[in-house]
Structure 1
Amino acid sequence: MKLNEELIRSTFDMMVKYRPALNKYLIVDEDEDEDDEVDYRILGDLIIKNFPWPIGVELRRLFSGSMRQLDRHRLDQIFKTIERIMQFISFTMLAQVWDDVESKKIEAPKSLTNDFEKRFSVLSMGTYSWIIRMLGKTYKEQGQEWFMTEMGENFDKKFFESLDFWIPERNEIGHYQINLTSEDIEKRCVEYEKKLAVILQKMAFVVKYKLISIRDIHVEKDRIQKDPQFLHIVNLLNSGDSDFKSKEMKNNLYTDSKSVLLLKSLKNIDVFLNLSPLIIDTNTEVLDTTDKFDIKKDIFMYTKYRSGHLMYIGTEVTEKCDLRSLSNYSILVNEYESMVKTIVS
């Protein structure tokens, strides 16, 4: 198989398990062309579109034409993809823990609360792995179900070990602490692609869920209507590019303004997991003052908290951005501090 094809095929096959409708892309009409084969470009594009945007955009880079050589650029992108996967998983876990501790559905273990505030203030791959393993064990021991229910079954000891593998590799190779020959890099590209495939297969269930951002919420009620309805204008963050599709969703209940939500289904917006302030969308920000001109429109991931300030990293934007001039920045800081206080208390 050519570069990426084994990774794409094994991941897509597992996606079909959770979304059987995707199986149609694996069907080849042998009557039309004996040499007809599955188009891996289409499968790769579908993987990108069906995974949540923060992961999908890294896979888009990995599958791109500029990453077709077994070189340092490809090796670095594999590391970036793994790190973004771990970041997204740990953020979804923490978002639920925040809710569940607050509603007293679970009790955060001392092994988490004692070190959480310090370790989570500056993120690393080791911190992501620690959070995923710690919370996976906690929910299993306390018999609590995850929002993405498949995590309970798929995130087992072997999965945790597959994540732990990357930490020393990232520290040495990813941060250029050792010199690699061209031959070493080629071998690692092949080896790491296979290990990445294992992780993607284990979390292929995420294609069942939808990531959205709330652009606006309008209240609708006429004179005769007894109860109001809430019109949510949202962006769909499962996409092959950053030109996100917009959708209107009407419901008797309202969600949280200017937030990034994980849904079980687009048919039911009142069942959601709010991932903000860990994941935010700046696309709705109006750049109406000069101090906002440095803000980039993107989906941002939390990366650091220091002296009352939150710092984020873009998913498509690669340069550093200061987001302190966001109109809802103080709300994001308050939410972050509330989350930490809830978890450690």
Structure 2
Amino acid sequence: MENNITNQGNNNIIIQGITDSSITLQINGATQEIQNEMATLNALLEQMNVQQVQMADKIYDLGELGQADLGLKKTFNVLITKKLMVALAENGLVPAQKFLDKTKSMNGWENDNRFADVAKNLITFAFVGVIGAQLRKIMAIGKEALSEGKQQTYIQSCYLTSQKAIQLLNFTLISVFWDVQKTNNYELNEEETKELNLFFDDSIERNLADYATLLELLVNLFEKHQIDFPLKGLKDLNIERFKKTCKRIQKLQNSLEESQHSLMTCFEMEGQLTQFLTHLILFMNYDMLSVKSVIYDEKRTSSPKYIHSYIELGIDQKFNENTEKLNILNTPVVTDAVLIYDKRSNYEVYVNLSPFVIDYNTQMFEKGAKICFFSSKHISDASLNYRFLEDNSIENVNFSNMLNANTKLENLMKEKKDYIKLKFDLIFQQFEEAKKEVLKNSTQGESGAEDVSFDDLFG
């Protein structure tokens, strides 16, 4: 008996058969065979706006499809692995192309763990470290036994991956605009002023859809003033399609928060995250590092050198392990900073992401790197809330006013606890200075926090 898939549009889709490896469909009279994977079928149904599936005399809503025993394989991360490998190869990642060349005669390599695990590992290492680390979590969750907990964790992890990626874009653009605005007087219109004020002052953590709106505004701002994009490939981003993908991901996350999710939600989320990362394939060209310290070294008989101590923020970096490296160069670099740079440049050209991205361990004089993304201002005292990438917990940074008319810098540096407070004061100062500079020529609206003056911070 034929299995009819009905939809609210004009497409006529019939399931003609399901085997261990494939699903045979008849779409508007034409036969098409797809891989027997829930994620693959879901991607097709979404593309054709199919809302229900009929099998024999029973009709399933899409949310019920994942729970039904129809002979459909329910393996996680098959779609994202295959699609991202193709995208990486098309964008010049040589190892990805070599892998696809070796497996082109192997039908369904993405279902064979011998090959799929190699591809997944390559994907996680290909993307800039903080995104690669999130992808590794997603790949690991996919291997767990099917359970309600797995579904919830998978959906949440996919959402956080997309959230951190778009935050990284926004932080990079705002950091560059901050620097550019120091030597320019670019005017901000009312909409730009409102959005950027929200970024700096909002006490409610913004969601993915909000970050997408901010990204569109920043992209338009750069284009309007003919400012070079700091990340190659960003100018080619189709912002409208990207925003639609973000809205779909946000909707799926909302279904989790409202306990309206199902197994099918996981495969929908996998498909949307795949599209999201395909839009941001440019991150394959970038790395990040945390600069712990820079030492000036000059001998009587040698030229001066700068000894950089830093940690590469790759997926193998653990926040409580000492993985510092040294690099001796003829030029200095900003300290206590997190940088993003083209991986082909050895961080000769970089964007300083501080104070929007901080290494909490550097401020605390602790080993390893604890990377935190700015999240929001605290609602009660306008202190800064950051999200720790490892577990999404909150770290708070407040202003202690350590360096004032009654203190000296050298005395503060002698006491570790006082020096730590001073370092966090400087993060707070940088944040407020960034806001002041970015919005210096704006149509001022109401701000979400009190203005804090740092004019006399250093006495």
Query: Which range, TM-score by smaller chain?
Result: 0.7 to 0.9
TM superposition shift of 1:169: 4.3
The 2-side partners of 1:147 and 1:316 are apart by: 26
1:298 maps to 370
1:254 has 2:332 as partner? yes
The 1:330/1:67 distance shift into structure 2, 3 A limit, reads farther
The 1:297/1:209 distance shift into structure 2, 3 A limit, reads closer
* Residues 233, 282 of structure 2: 8 Å contact kept: yes
1:52 maps to 128
* Residues 210, 263 of structure 1: 8 Å contact kept: yes
SS in 2 for 1:49: helix
- Equivalences for residues 1-345 of structure 1 within 5 A: 1=37, 2-16=75-89, 17-28=91-102, 39-65=115-141, 68=144, 69=146, 71-104=151-184, 107-121=187-201, 122=203, 123-125=205-207, 126-170=209-253, 172-176=254-258, 179-180=259-260, 184-225=261-302, 228-242=304-318, 245-265=323-343, 267-286=345-364, 298-306=370-378, 307-324=381-398, 326-327=420-421, 328-345=423-440
TM superposition shift of 1:329: 0.5
The 1:310/1:286 distance shift into structure 2, 3 A limit, reads closer
SS in 1 for 2:102: coil
SS in 2 for 1:140: helix
The 1-side partners of 2:429 and 2:78 are apart by: 45
The 2-side partners of 1:34 and 1:84 are apart by: 34
The 1:5/1:106 distance shift into structure 2, 3 A limit, reads farther
SS in 1 for 2:343: coil
TM superposition shift of 1:286: 4.7
SS in 1 for 2:97: helix
- Report the TM-score, using the length of structure 1 for normalisation: 0.84
The 1-side partners of 2:278 and 2:185 are apart by: 30
The 2-side partners of 1:313 and 1:230 are apart by: 32
Counterpart of 1:164, as a letter, is K
- Report the TM-score, using the length of structure 2 for normalisation: 0.64
Structure with more contact order per residue of length (Cα contacts < 8 Å, sep ≥ 6): 1
TM superposition shift of 1:40: 1.7
Residues 103-138 of structure 1 deviation map (CA, whole Å, 9 limit, x = unaligned):
328554442123422344333123311210101122
The 2-side partners of 1:19 and 1:247 are apart by: 26
The 2-side partners of 1:120 and 1:334 are apart by: 13
* Residues 358, 373 of structure 2: 8 Å contact kept: yes
The 1:249/1:19 distance shift into structure 2, 3 A limit, reads farther
Structure 1: segments with no counterpart, 5+ residues: 289-294
* Residues 264, 271 of structure 1: 8 Å contact kept: yes
TM superposition shift of 1:59: 1.5
TM superposition shift of 1:63: 1.0
Counterpart of 1:222, as a letter, is K
TM superposition shift of 1:297: 5.7
The 1:297/1:215 distance shift into structure 2, 3 A limit, reads closer
The 2-side partners of 1:321 and 1:296 are apart by: 16
* Residues 248, 272 of structure 2: 8 Å contact kept: no
TM superposition shift of 1:160: 2.6
The 2-side partners of 1:18 and 1:99 are apart by: 31
The 2-side partners of 1:138 and 1:153 are apart by: 15
Q: CA RMSD in A?
A: 3.1
* Residues 299, 314 of structure 1: 8 Å contact kept: yes
Q: How many residues align?
A: 331
Residues 302-328 of structure 1 deviation map (CA, whole Å, 9 limit, x = unaligned):
112233411111111444444557441
The 1:101/1:35 distance shift into structure 2, 3 A limit, reads closer
Residues 152-186 of structure 1 deviation map (CA, whole Å, 9 limit, x = unaligned):
1124322233223334444x32432xx42xxx512
Query: Identity rate of aligned residues, in percent?
Result: 16
The 1-side partners of 2:137 and 2:250 are apart by: 22
Counterpart of 2:335, as a letter, is S
Higher mean Cα deviation, 65-74 or 217-226?
65-74
Structure 2: segments with no counterpart, 5+ residues: 1-36, 38-74, 399-416, 441-459
TM superposition shift of 1:285: 4.6
The 2-side partners of 1:8 and 1:244 are apart by: 32
Counterpart of 1:13, as a letter, is V
Counterpart of 1:111, as a letter, is E
